[in-house]
Amino acid sequence: MEITEKLLKFKFYILLALAFSLIILINIYVAPSFIGVLAYFWPLLASTAMFLFAVVLFGRTSPPAAEAPGEKAAEGLLDFVAGKPEEVRFAGESSKSEQNLM
């Protein structure tokens, strides 16, 4: 009786372990084999490997630039976005000098 009482105490955990094991076994039976998946996706895997090889190769062979070529253009764009220059106005807006003339 003591064993039965202890087993009933862990009934939920035993059922959970059995259900999980059953799900794993069904997935192993139904799922395709690894070779089947590899045969289906080999073009994708091969092209990804070649791309990564090219990235590593170009990363090692080309020296890093002292200053990025687009850095000046990016700074100008950031300056434009951060603060609205006086020359750029939207329709309906007037500059301070036009307001003083009125």
- The model scores a pTM over 0.75: no
For residue 43, pLDDT beyond 70? yes
Q: How far is CA 95 from CA 27, 78, 83, 84, in A?
A: 70, 22, 15, 12
For range 29-47, the mean pLDDT: 90
For residue 68, pLDDT beyond 70? no
| 3-class secondary structure per residue, 19-83 | HHHHHHHHHHHHCCCHHHHHHHHHHHHHHHHHHHHHHHHHHHHCCCCCCCCCHHHHHHHHHHHHC
Question: Nearest 5°: phi and psi at 99?
Answer: -70, -35
For residue 53, pLDDT beyond 70? yes
For residue 25, pLDDT beyond 70? yes
**Cα three-residue angle 91-94-99, rounded to 5 degrees:** 155
For residue 19, pLDDT beyond 70? yes
Which one-letter DSSP state was computed for residue 18?
H
Q: How many percent of the chain have pLDDT more than 90?
A: 33
